[in-house]
Chain A
Amino acid sequence: MPRFEILTSEQHPDITVAERYGADCGNDVHMIPVVVTELAPLVAHYPVVIGKDGETGGFMLAAVTGVVEGENLFLDGQQWRAAYQPLHAQRGPFAVQETGDPDNPSLLVRIDLDDPRVSGDGGERLFDESANQTDYMRRKNAILATIVDGMGKTDAFLTACSELDLIEPVQLQLSFKDQSNIRFDGLYSINQEKLAALTGDALEKFHAAGHLRSAHFLTGSIAQIQNLVMRKNARL
């Protein structure tokens, strides 16, 4: 069970975190939330789809890492076998909490003290002898900040797509070498005809905001499904 606490040098002066992945770190998931700002490196490896947040019903982006629940086809022991891992995986046992003025919040870093990477073997220190943040901690902070910034931009992208009526439900059906089939429900994608039909002001605004680029990345990533199927077939 996760046990998050706000990370401070006073409370956790000697804490260490091992830089690794693993099923014991919660990486055994078949869909992982992603942000638009990381689409460029993401789509070289993962299909990225539009899904819905189970709590709010709002649209979100997810990288598909497996074909059944609890399966990550990129996870091999403590290694993640791809040149790029989604930011939500890279953040490790850290999370953020927004605090203060809702219009201009500051971010507090939290750490899951029950995560096996925390205070275990081979860990990196988060604070040095003088209670300053280490380079490792600063890198993790940067990842968290990128995620927070990315989530806002992702919402803006998906809202723009929804307002232009570009989002449509899709069914993904995958077949494997052992004749088995899997169907993914509850997924969405960008309708290509409607995207191509954007003109004038609407198109300009969509492009100027960077959304056209994101939409094309998403569409391009669908080809990664074949790689996913190959990875699954290799395990069958």
Chain B
Amino acid sequence: MGRPIKDVVIVGGGSAGWIAAGTIAAAHRTEDTSGIRVTLVESPNVPIIGVGEGTWPTMRNTLRKMGISETDFIRECNATFKQGARFAKWVTGAADDAYYHPLMLPQGFLQGNLVRHWQADDQGLSFSAAVCPQDHICDRSLAPKQITTPEYAGVLNYAYHLDAGKFADFVRKHCVDKLGVRHVLADVTGVVAADDGDIAAVETDQAGRITGDLFVDCTGFRSLLLGGHYGVGFKPCIDTLFIDTALAVQVPYRDENEQIASQTISTGQSAGWIWDIGLSNRRGIGHVYSSAHTDEEKAAEELGAYISQYGGDLGKLGYRKIPINPGHREKFWERNCVAVGLSAGFLEPLEASALVLIELSSGMIAEQMPVSREAMDVVAKRFNAKFRYRWDRIIDFLKLHYILSRRDDEAFWRDNKDPATIPDSLKELMTLWQYQPPWHDDFVQKDEVFPAASYQYVLYGMGFETQQSHLGSSSAANAFAQAQFAENRKITNQMLNNLPDHRSLISKIHQHGLQRI
């Protein structure tokens, strides 16, 4: 059977460490001590990165499975609801240039593809507005549910915006108090190798040697175990996605009743873009840019101009500069060590993929937790294949946003369309989509990171045109499509009349909480 796996040691805290700890501990709880033991060792001195604040709808399940109350999470992490992303100035750069990538699937998505019907007659609506109510909901800053909706349920599909620092503290407390996770505050000074090449233990300053059977590397960009100790190579993708620096700032609201945005806002700049996330007490804003195309001074100027619309003064608020090395490790699981979070890789936060990769990694580790050391090699191989595929698809999807842009005002935008910078996999899909709209079978995995719907929203939101088919469409298909458009109009009106505004709902949740059922 091989050596049984009993002790999981997570090195590093932050969102990665604590989501991994909570997910694994919750999945493997036992009444007695016969289950997996989870230990998280983190440095009291090394700060967390503290800027990842956008999530996907998967986070609702992740928190629920840990036994966390959505009410507690919203109250303690200044969390708000995210219903998608609004991309401004990505296509032409004009003042009114904006489109939505909403979180809901297009109406009737499991039964039929509405793209061709929308292209034939858009009835004056953008693609997303024709097939989904969230454009209108987000335009009016409405919430995706009501105070009477139970925890984790939504009237419309939603994810969260959260305070990264508070989130790590919040999940840590839950893991330690409710899930039996052992928390060790200590600086790791070395890695102890076993005879067979596995990691036997980590040496620490304050807590001595900590042994384990499986080590989870959540040490951030340093990748202390996977990159540092095992020397697993890093595959940069700066030739595809040029962004390599972030300037981050927190901007307060002008008053406590200022409306909270219902979506992440991404606004194109001269050599990058600015993220804008609304929490309950402040905004988290950052300018990500390519240092090959602009410099810090100019980037800071653009950031300052952006936040001035909210009454923010960058001179007074200051900003944090965070260098980004876009790319990922060649492998993520080496021997008895698996990397989760920044230690596995990082790409620009264009579609908030970092936290969901942490959730997916933690989920697979928990679900496939090898019972013995022998089984682990098989799991590791499958993990590596699966996540290598996922990183490639994320790179494709992010690059898609750039190649569809018609901006040519700056070298950054022009250079992004150079075919030499476009992955072959994406080129192939673009060829396919010239003739037929994205559909389920374009993507092979059972649980793709981005469903075909996401590609539809970005393609047609950015004005891409799929050629008319000589095949035409049947009257049944036409009737189906018109029924879906009509249903969407009906649902949109219902939602506009029944959903509260975002700020009001968040205030009510702080005051009254949400019921569990």
- CB of B517 within 8 A of CB of A56, answer no
- CB of B147 within 8 A of CB of A57, answer yes
Does any Cβ of A come within 8 Å of B492's Cβ? no
Does any Cβ of B come within 8 Å of A162's Cβ? yes
Of B340-348, B403-411, B508-516, the segment with at least 4 beta carbons within 8 Å of chain A is: B508-516
Chain B count of residues within 8 A CB distance of the other chain: 12
Inter-chain CA distance A169–B147, complex, in Å, is 16
Distance to closest chain A CB from B143 (angstroms): 12
- CB of B516 within 8 A of CB of A56, answer no
Distance to closest chain A CB from B67 (angstroms): 13
Distance to closest chain B CB from A108 (angstroms): 24
Distance to closest chain B CB from A57 (angstroms): 4
Distance to closest chain A CB from B307 (angstroms): 35
Q: Using an 8 Å CB-CB cutoff, how does the interface string of A146-162 with B read, 1 for contact, 0 for none? A: 00000000000000001
- CB of B517 within 8 A of CB of A57, answer no
- CB of A57 within 8 A of CB of B516, answer no
Inter-chain CA distance A36–B465, complex, in Å, is 63
- CB of B512 within 8 A of CB of A169, answer no
Does any Cβ of B come within 8 Å of A105's Cβ? no
Residues of B within 8 A of A167 (CB): 517
Select B508's contact among A56, A168, A188, beta carbons within 8 Å: A56
Residues of B within 8 A of A188 (CB): 517
Q: Using an 8 Å CB-CB cutoff, how does the interface string of B140-155 with A read, 1 for contact, 0 for none? A: 0000001111000000
Residues of A within 8 A of B513 (CB): 57
Distance to closest chain B CB from A128 (angstroms): 43
> Quick one: which of A54, A56, A57, A162 has the most chain B CB within 10 A?
A57
Chain B residue with Cβ nearest A52: B148
- CB of A58 within 8 A of CB of B517, answer no
Select B515's contact among A52, A54, A55, beta carbons within 8 Å: A52
Distance to closest chain A CB from B11 (angstroms): 37
- CB of A162 within 8 A of CB of B515, answer yes
Distance to closest chain B CB from A123 (angstroms): 39
Residues of A within 8 A of B147 (CB): 54-57
A-B contact pairs, 21 of them (CB 8 A): A52-B148, A53-B148, A54-B147, A54-B148, A55-B147, A55-B508, A56-B147, A56-B508, A56-B512, A57-B146, A57-B147, A57-B513, A57-B514, A58-B512, A58-B515, A59-B515, A162-B515, A162-B516, A167-B517, A168-B517, A188-B517
Interface residues of B (CB under 8 A from A): 146-149, 508, 511-517
